[in-house]
Amino acid sequence: MPIIENCKIVLIDDEEGIRKVTSITLEDRGYTVLTAADGEAGVRLCQETLPQIVLTDVRMPKMDGLEVLATLKKSLPDIEVIVITAFGDVETAVKALRLDASDFITKPLNDDALHTALDRAQERYIARKQVRDHTLLLEKGWARTTQELIKTFTFQENLIESSMDGIMGCDPDGKVVTFNRSMAAMLDYPQEQVINQMTLDQFLSSEDTARLQKALQAPHYGGENKLYLYETVLSHRSGKTIPVQVSASVLFDQESKSGSVYYFRDLQELKKLEQEMTDQARILHQDKMISLGKLSASIVHEINNPLAGVLNYVRLMIRILNRGPLEESRQPKFQRYLDLIEKEIDRCSKLLSSLLTFSRKPSSTFTKVDVNDLLDRCILLSQHKLQLQQIKLKTHIDAQIHPVYGDYNQLQQCIINLIFNAIDAMPDGGVVSLIAVHDMAKEIVTIAVKDSGSGIAEKDLPRIFEPFFTTKQEGYGVGLGLSTVYGIIKHHKGVINATSPPGEGATFTVELPFFSNVG
């Protein structure tokens, strides 16, 4: 149930189904829910209705979730914003937290995670509003002396102590007069050892203290005598440093400085998340290298036959030339040998070129993608592995499929992963069907990979796109293939689904928007 009475939520997501389902769930819990289908409409709705909490998807047309977050924090800083991200998009979550998002949750939405995030957002909204109201009172004249500042902060113990952020209040000389529980836990200092005993500069190096004070006085970080989302480090009691994000304000009584207040947010978890993001990228590349190893082993056999043929033709031509000048009657046969050599070498070149393209680790580059060419390359790379495992490939591909907008290398990785999964599902041989069509009315391209294997168990089907979930034996992957595919397709504003009717194998269907429909 909502902690805030009549708590109002604005939900911004470009997927109608998610808006409907999430609205019903939240309204059943007692929230008032308003929805918007894109970022611009969502910002306007917030300005008109002034909700306490906003739930926004990151990837949306017109204005994405990060732009919504930045716009709302500038014009309506009281609103708490929870960002919804997809797997493989951890970097976006980090950026959102740096922009002072209350929290982030991942798709598909989990009820427990959603309600936990909403509870935290409400607590943060209440605590920050109380602190802001209290700070306003101080600025209006309650802090006429240092003693009054101390008494006011301590008598508001519930207000200050309940804050999830660390709060430190100082008198004009920098002596600490307020040091809440979150601050004490963050730095491992007893409150009684700090209050009226220590100064702000004892928690920072001399260089960091100078930079902090300079930033507080400058107009660049929120205005003169105000600081917003500035990053620095504090000294822990053990001697280690704690990365923090700080917002601060100088307090005045009339025109005289009466003190200052600092709000510190612990960034240790955020930094850990950044490291996990780096590790995740490494593991994802490792999973791609597993696929590359399988491709390489197959292609070695694939190019061995044409190279052996080329060698035989060259030797035959050398023998012909060794007999003397080439007779006119033998020239057509000689020319035919050269044509065969050219075709076989061209075939090897295309195989190796496709393998090199797949193996690269480029930065994401979105452009117009020719779907027919993309699928031809995927078939070329997979063909020999299919033959080795006695698997027949059936294709139904529209001759001139409308191009899509995306990263060629990433989309190739998706299709290769789906074909390899289909191969793994049929250890005794079978049939893989590759189907690709487009729908001019819906402006989407649909690519389906179907196998004739044993299928996916009903209990496993809802989890197949989860990271590290796998039904394969140990040593056959790290369970990231399908979650990687899910993340890539979501990043392309597409949809991937899996079906597995009993006794009919499994079918993975990918829908991607037309190139002309992206903008």
Query: What single string gives the DSSP state of each residue in 371-440?
Result: HHHHHHHHHHHHHHHHHHTTEEEEEEE-TTPPPEEE-HHHHHHHHHHHHHHHHHT-TT-EEEEEEEEEET
User: 507: which strand partners?
Assistant: 450, 499
Q: What is the CA radius of gyration of the chain?
A: 31
Residue 48: the pLDDT is 93
- Identity of the highest mean pLDDT range in 86-95, 147-156, 208-217: 208-217
- Identity of the highest mean pLDDT range in 206-220, 339-353, 441-455: 441-455
Residue 354: the pLDDT is 57
**Helix (H, G, I), strand (E, B), or coil: what is residue 89?**
coil
Q: Label residue 497 by pLDDT band (50, 70, 90).
A: very high
CATH code: domain 8-127 is 3.40.50.2300
DSSP secondary structure string for all residues of 41-67:
HHHHHHHHH--SEEEEESS-SSS-HHH
Measured between alpha carbons, how far is 404 from 488 in angstroms, rounded to an integer? 14
pLDDT tens, residue by residue, 354-383: 565 555 554 557 889 999 999 988 887 777
What would be the CATH architecture of the domain defined by 289-360? Orthogonal Bundle (1.10)
Residue 459: the pLDDT is 85
Residue 257: the pLDDT is 86
Residue 403: the pLDDT is 94
Return phi, psi of residue 5, to 5°. Answer: -65, 135
Contact 169/259 with Cβ under 8 angstroms?
A: yes
Q: Label residue 306 by pLDDT band (50, 70, 90).
A: low
User: 319: which strand partners?
Assistant: none
**Helix (H, G, I), strand (E, B), or coil: what is residue 510?**
strand
Percent of the chain with pLDDT over 90: 27
Q: Label residue 474 by pLDDT band (50, 70, 90).
A: very low
Residue 198: the pLDDT is 94
Measured between alpha carbons, how far is 75 from 483 in angstroms, rounded to an integer? 37
Using the predicted structure, report yes or no on whether residue 14 has a pLDDT greater than 50: yes
Contact 134/145 with Cβ under 8 angstroms?
A: no
Query: Cis bond leading into 427, ω under 30°?
Result: no
Residue 97: the pLDDT is 80
Using the predicted structure, report yes or no on whether residue 242 has a pLDDT greater than 80: yes
**Helix (H, G, I), strand (E, B), or coil: what is residue 279?**
helix
Instruction: Quote the tokens at residue 467.
Output: 């990271």
Using the predicted structure, report yes or no on whether residue 337 has a pLDDT greater than 80: no
Using the predicted structure, report yes or no on whether residue 157 has a pLDDT greater than 70: no
Per-residue CA distances from 376 to 278, 295, 385 (Å) = 33, 15, 15
Using the predicted structure, report yes or no on whether residue 25 has a pLDDT greater than 60: yes
Measured between alpha carbons, how far is 356 from 358 in angstroms, rounded to an integer? 5
Using the predicted structure, report yes or no on whether residue 519 has a pLDDT greater than 60: no
Using the predicted structure, report yes or no on whether residue 55 has a pLDDT greater than 50: yes
Q: Which helix (H) or strand (E) holds 486?
A: helix 481-491
DSSP strand pairing (80-86 vs 32-36): unpaired
Measured between alpha carbons, how far is 10 from 32 in angstroms, rounded to an integer? 9
| Mean pLDDT to the nearest integer, 239-244 | 89
**Helix (H, G, I), strand (E, B), or coil: what is residue 79?**
coil
The CATH label, of 3.30.450.20, 3.40.309.10, 3.30.360.10, 3.40.50.300, for the domain at 143-266 is: 3.30.450.20
| Mean pLDDT to the nearest integer, 393-421 | 88
| Mean pLDDT to the nearest integer, 499-505 | 89
Using the predicted structure, report yes or no on whether residue 15 has a pLDDT greater than 80: yes
Q: Label residue 482 by pLDDT band (50, 70, 90).
A: confident
Q: Which residue has the higher pLDDT, 174 or 95?
A: 174
**pTM of this structure:** 0.39
pLDDT tens, residue by residue, 73-128: 888 888 999 988 875 566 777 788 888 888 888 877 788 888 888 988 888 888 88
Q: Give 223's DSSP letter.
A: S
Residue 445: the pLDDT is 95
Q: Which helix (H) or strand (E) holds 325?
A: none
- Domain range summary for the chain, segments of one domain joined by +: 8-127, 143-266, 289-360, 362-519
Whether CATH 3.90.1300.10 fits 362-519: no
Using the predicted structure, report yes or no on whether residue 158 has a pLDDT greater than 80: no
**Helix (H, G, I), strand (E, B), or coil: what is residue 165?**
coil
Q: Which residue has the higher pLDDT, 323 or 364?
A: 323
Q: Which residue has the higher pLDDT, 103 or 435?
A: 435
| Mean pLDDT to the nearest integer, 201-216 | 90
Same fold, 143-266 and 362-519: no
Q: Which helix (H) or strand (E) holds 101?
A: none
Using the predicted structure, report yes or no on whether residue 480 has a pLDDT greater than 50: no
| Mean pLDDT to the nearest integer, 161-183 | 87
Closest CA to 275 of 243, 231, 317, 320: 243
Lowest mean pLDDT among 61-75, 117-131, 461-475: 461-475
| Mean pLDDT to the nearest integer, 416-439 | 90
Using the predicted structure, report yes or no on whether residue 288 has a pLDDT greater than 70: no
Residue 479: the pLDDT is 38
Closest CA to 368 of 278, 425, 445: 445
End-to-end alpha-carbon separation of the chain, Å? 40
How long a stretch of residues is the chain?
Answer: 519
pLDDT tens, residue by residue, 346-357: 767 766 665 655
Q: Label residue 336 by pLDDT band (50, 70, 90).
A: confident
